[in-house]
Amino acid sequence: MAQNSRINTPLGRVVPLPFPGRIIKAGDPDRVIVKAIQHRLNEVGCGPIEETGIFDIEKTKKAVKLFQARFPDASGLPLRIDGEVGPLTWGAMFGAVSVPSNSRASTRLVKAAIEFAITQIGIRENPLGSNRGREVDQYLRAVGLNPVGNSFAWCVAFTHFCYLKAAELLQRDNPHIKTAGVLDHWNKAGRKPGVLRITKAEAIADLDLVRPGSLFIIDLGEGLGHSGMVIETTNGRLVTIEGNTNDNGSRNGIGVFRRDARKINQINKGFIDYSGF
């Protein structure tokens, strides 16, 4: 979006700047952007603060926190009160159209993988909490694991199976790395030609890098993690389909769920993108 374009926002402001593609926080050197934030904070009653273009801790950060406490994000959900202006806070300040959104699959393979993943929403373990069940066993066997007498986390086995079914439909090889390990997937993706691995910092700097069909990677420490498939990005928030989770997004849950609560800046490892195949 050009610098001189005009954006109408729900709070009545017309602002010439789109989201700058990074988190703006105390000490940010771009005075034009900081001044726009300060002006907006004054407009919506979160001041008064001087519009100096300097993001100070004493006044500007406190005003941002006040804004985050008073206003929801573009989806109507609460903002994180941290005094930093990421894509969700920016979208709340200046309107949802000021932050990139993407719901379109980039390739036939990605589209087919998403479409298959959607058919799996509602699958549950049987019995619940067992990491077993007819469909779950299929996911695990597809990555070479025998579920009988064992208990394996299966979130990555699920995404592998989605891409496997898409590849079979299109009569081609499955590019998704054959593994059930979240961090093993991340590490091997960094060594496989054609796979795009996007770090958290890169994703925050350019929201357009996170596209439908990409797989988010969360490192939970001690070798554990969680992963799922992105099907849409909206103003820094992700719509995902995740296996081995539940309504609140926990690791090692009971089934396949569609979720809309994850944020790009909360994915601490990054994203794996197979759209190059």
User: Are residue 106 and residue 234 in the same domain, yes or no?
Assistant: yes
Instruction: Report the domain count for the chain.
Output: 2
Identify the CA nearest to 164 among candidates 195, 186, 182, 143. 143
**Quick one: pLDDT band at residue 99, thresholds 50, 70, 90?**
confident
Which CATH number belongs to the domain containing residue 18 in this structure?
1.10.101.10
Positive or negative: CA dihedral 137, 139, 140, 146: positive
pLDDT level of residue 19 (50, 70, 90 thresholds): confident
- Among residues 75, 99, 123, the one where a domain terminates is 99
User: Does some domain include residue 267?
Assistant: yes
Domain that holds residue 189: 102-273
pLDDT-wise least confident of 111-115, 148-152, 219-223, 250-254: 250-254
On whether both 14 and 128 belong to a single domain, the answer is: no
Q: Tell me: do 87 and 147 sit in the same domain.
A: no
Same domain, 68 and 161: no
Q: What is the pLDDT of residue 221?
A: 95
User: Full-prediction pTM beyond 0.75?
Assistant: yes
Express each pLDDT in 228-258 by its tens digit. 999 999 878 899 999 999 988 888 899 999 9
In a domain? residue 212: yes
Over 50: is that where the pLDDT of 14 sits?
no
Query: Does residue 26 carry a pLDDT above 90?
Result: yes
Average pLDDT score over residue span 14-31: 82
Sign of CA dihedral 29, 32, 33, 37: positive
Q: State whether 218 and 108 are in the same domain.
A: yes
Do 199 and 262 belong to one domain?
yes
